[in-house]
Amino acid sequence: MTDIILQGICGRMGHALIEKISQREDCRVVAGVDQQTGKIGEIPVYASLEELPVRGVLIDFSSPAGAVNAAKYCAEQNMPCVICSTGLSKEDEAVLEEVSTKVPVFRSANMSVGINVLIELARRATRLFDGEFDIEIVEKHHHNKLDAPSGTALMIANAINAEADGAYEYVYDRHAVRQKRGKQELGISSVRGGGIVGEHEVLFCGPEEVVTISHSAQSRGVFADGAVQAALFVDNAQPGFYTMTDMLRGKMQCL
């Protein structure tokens, strides 16, 4: 049985996680951390990590500052953590890398298993097209999302660029420059509106054909499922920096 602590338990993802975990027999929520203290059902909620009387795998869906604090706390307490918050800076990510030398850190800006399969397919398509097709990424999210482009869009772009040995330059907005598209451009476009949970498209555009790889999240449950799987993956793991790619490839080796 894996004990799980949820930072950001009172938010929408916190409630989605509680619902998903309540349906499982291999893990349980033992505590939460949020500004609103008290209880959610039988789960005690504390104002800070330092008040926790229990241990477990910490899943963070809070903020960049909260994610960094969670990672540092887990390093001090020798606890694994799953960091799901978006909008982290390069300095924040560097802290996670440092913490991973002491405890297992699972990091993904998008916990959907499906979106990570999309990333793997985009890598392979990049390799197969070998620079002959233009690449564009379009991401769509609800009107309350703060960051643009999304962390997931950047994950996709970074995976593609790594496959291309860093050949691409990211272009986020073309309205200010009237010129044709550059050969090494990788365009990233953002749409914000309504209650869109999350949609991502990768377009490989050739002279006479277009190949599109897309993913649409229907509910936040897909992110909760991925976060729970990640928590189980790092429970009792060795210190290290883990991603969805590690988890997916581990599953493939078991097939």
Q: Which residues are CB-contacts of 51 (< 8 A; sequence separation ≥ 6)?
A: none
Give the torsion through C-alpha atoms of 174, 178, 179, 185, to 10 deg: -10
Sign of CA dihedral 52, 53, 58, 59: negative
Catalytic residue among 20, 140, 141, 200: 141
Catalytic residue among 145, 200, 215, 251: 145
DSSP bridge partners of 141 = 192
Q: Which runs of E-coded beta strand occur in the chain?
A: 2-7, 27-33, 38-40, 43-46, 57-60, 81-83, 104-107, 134-141, 169-171, 185-192, 198-205, 210-217, 240-242
20 catalytic? Reply is no
DSSP bridge partners of 135 = 186, 204
Question: Can you tell me the distance from the alpha carbon of 215 to that of 202, in angstroms, rounded to the nearest whole number?
Answer: 9
Give the torsion through C-alpha atoms of 88, 227, 105, 50, to 10 deg: 80
Sign of CA dihedral 66, 112, 13, 47: negative
CB burial of residue 20 (10 Å; 0-12, 13-18, 19+) = buried
145 catalytic? Reply is yes
The DSSP secondary structure of 78-111, one letter per residue, reads: T--EEE------HHHHHHHHHHTTTSEEEE-S--
- Please identify every residue annotated as catalytic: 141, 145
